[in-house]
């Protein structure tokens, strides 16, 4: 008699079908209710559109040599905004990677601060007091153990705050991700691992990242739930994140959300995506543009039109111009500022270097 050694997990079937509430044509999936009212949805849409406009501006500034290497959000706006608006910025924290501008703004980071960061100004690297945000993290997945520590610490202090950590499909292959999940499961940390599966880790496609059917399926191995959502559906992302927030607040521990999306542009301004087949599936995803989807939904309800769009775009352009002007008005850093943000107290070697610096021509000119 032959016995099948392949275990069947029917419940996983539900986990590998992404949650969708809003179809690409802007209609609700049968039986679904909109989890956001029109006013909140319009705010979220404006944030998505602002993010896209900053993306375009940032790329053009980088090409002019006025911005450092820059990563766009384009294509992933529903994923970032849908998750961010499920948080309460007056108590919850965001732990970012480097592709989540609208979540940073939603937490209260001024846009000019973000601009200063990409202009390489030291003032842009420090998160302003009262903004519940850790700094942008370039080292893949390194922010995840920090997020667990932060969440665990908050819980130990008796807070009901939740921490939402962003990372990518590439980051989910790093040891830091697995160690962070393991500890979060053990201590039931109020953390949401928000995995933006945008199809690529620079030139490495998702298919080469892991042979698991979904990246969310890893969560049960660490003792908590993993869910898959249509990451281009603002409603689905918001609903899944809200549920995870509720559970974390109630002391029921972490959740892993795999938000399936696609980045429309290059990995960053140093990348050429035409060299690795990124464009082969791009057109299919552009048809599922997360911004258009919300606009279509609102238009069908009489809440969006060409006139409204023109107004919103004007407002966004003014916001960006204002932030660029505010960033320009910040005096350039002095050479000695190099030492300001390294240690609380300078080491003897740094003291010597600082003294040397003060005798250079640049210092004499006050640079
Ligand atoms: C520890 C570490 N290894 C390698 C890199 C180089 N690197 C920068 S971005 C990136 C790919 C990240 O892909 P993913 O996690 O999917 O995020 P995405 O950029 O697609 O949002 C790599 C390998 C890095 N920054 N840090």
**Residue 198 Cβ contacting ligand 1 at under 6 Å:** yes
- Ligand 1 atom nearest residue 209's Cα: 16
CA-nearest residue, atom 19 of ligand 1: 201
Single pTM value for the model: 0.93
Centroid of ligand 1 to alpha carbon of 201 (angstroms): 6
Question: What pLDDT does 149 receive?
Answer: 98
**Residue 202 Cβ contacting ligand 1 at under 6 Å:** yes
**Residue 171 Cβ contacting ligand 1 at under 6 Å:** yes
Counting as low any pLDDT under 50, the low residues of the chain are 1-13
- Ligand 1 atom nearest residue 76's Cα: 21
Mutational pocket test of ligand 1: of 201, 206, 273, the residue with most ligand atoms within 8 Å of the beta carbon = 201
Question: What pLDDT does 2 receive?
Answer: 44
Beta strands in 179-301 (DSSP E): 191-197, 200-201, 204-205, 225-230, 255-260
Listing DSSP states for 116-157 in one string gives HHHTT-GGGGSPPTT--BPPP--STTTHHHHHHHHHHHHHHT
CB atoms within 10 A of CB 248: 25
Mutational pocket test of ligand 1: of 136, 141, 202, 215, the residue with most ligand atoms within 8 Å of the beta carbon = 202
Q: Please state, rounded to an integer, the average pLDDT across all residues of the chain.
A: 93
Active site residues: 263, 267, 276
- Measured in residues, the chain has a length of 367
Map out the domains of the chain with their CATH numbers: 12-333 (3.40.50.970), 334-367 (no CATH)
Residue-wise pLDDT for 271-322, tens only, equals: 999 999 999 989 999 999 999 999 999 999 999 999 999 999 999 999 999 9
Q: Nearest CA to 217 among 262, 181, 164?
A: 181
- Ligand 1 atom nearest residue 197's Cα: 16
- Ligand 1 atom nearest residue 172's Cα: 15
Question: What pLDDT does 335 receive?
Answer: 85
Q: What is the helix (H) or strand (E) element at residue 183, kind and residue range? A: helix 175-187
Residue-wise pLDDT for 85-109, tens only, equals: 999 999 999 999 999 999 999 999 9
Mutational pocket test of ligand 1: of 75, 136, 170, 175, the residue with most ligand atoms within 8 Å of the beta carbon = 170
C-alpha 93: how far from its chain's center? 12
CA-nearest residue, atom 4 of ligand 1: 140
Q: Nearest CA to 363 among 338, 341, 329, 330?
A: 338
Question: What pLDDT does 91 receive?
Answer: 98
Q: Nearest CA to 258 among 166, 182, 175?
A: 166
**Residue 203 Cβ contacting ligand 1 at under 6 Å:** no
CA distance 171 to 129: 29
Question: What pLDDT does 362 receive?
Answer: 65
Question: What pLDDT does 125 receive?
Answer: 87
């Amino acid at each position: 008699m032959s016995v099948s050694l392949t275990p069947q997990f029917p419940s996983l079937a539900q986990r590998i079908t992404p949650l969708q509430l809003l179809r690409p044509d802007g209609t609700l999936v049968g039986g679904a209710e909109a989890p956001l009212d029109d006013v909140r949805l319009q705010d979220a849409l404006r944030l998505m559109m602002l993010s896209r406009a900053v993306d375009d501006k940032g790329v053009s500034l980088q090409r002019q040599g006025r911005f450092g290497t820059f990563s766009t959000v384009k294509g992933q706006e529903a994923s970032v905004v849908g998750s961010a608006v499920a948080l309460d910025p007056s108590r919850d924290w965001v732990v970012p990677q480097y592709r989540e501008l609208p979540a940073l703004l939603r937490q209260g980071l001024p846009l000019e601060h973000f601009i200063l960061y990409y202009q390489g100004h030291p003032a842009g690297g420090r998160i302003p007091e009262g903004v519940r945000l850790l700094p942008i993290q370039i080292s893949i997945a390194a922010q995840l153990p920090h997020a667990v520590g932060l969440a665990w610490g908050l819980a130990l202090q008796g807070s009901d705050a939740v921490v939402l950590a962003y990372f990518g499909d590439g980051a989910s292959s790093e040891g830091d991700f697995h160690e962070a999940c393991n500890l979060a499961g053990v201590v039931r940390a109020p953390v949401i691992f928000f995995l933006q599966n945008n199809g690529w880790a620079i030139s490495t496609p998702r298919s080469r990242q892991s042979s698991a059917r979904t990246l969310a399926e890893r969560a049960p191995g660490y003792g908590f739930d993993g869910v898959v959502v249509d990451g281009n559906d603002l409603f689905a992302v918001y609903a899944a994140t809200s549920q995870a927030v509720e559970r974390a607040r109630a002391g029921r521990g972490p959740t892993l959300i795999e938000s399936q999306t696609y980045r429309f542009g290059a990995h960053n301004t140093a990348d050429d995506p035409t060299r690795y087949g990124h464009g082969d599936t791009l057109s299919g995803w552009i048809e599922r543009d997360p911004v258009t989807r919300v606009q279509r939904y609102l238009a069908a309800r009489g809440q969006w039109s060409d006139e409204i769009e023109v107004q919103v775009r004007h407002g966004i352009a003014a916001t960006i111009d204002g932030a660029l002007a505010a960033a320009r008005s910040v005096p350039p850093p002095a050479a000695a500022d190099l030492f300001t943000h390294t240690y609380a107290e300078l080491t003897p070697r740094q003291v010597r270097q600082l003294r040397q610096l003060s005798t250079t021509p640049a210092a004499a000119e006050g640079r």
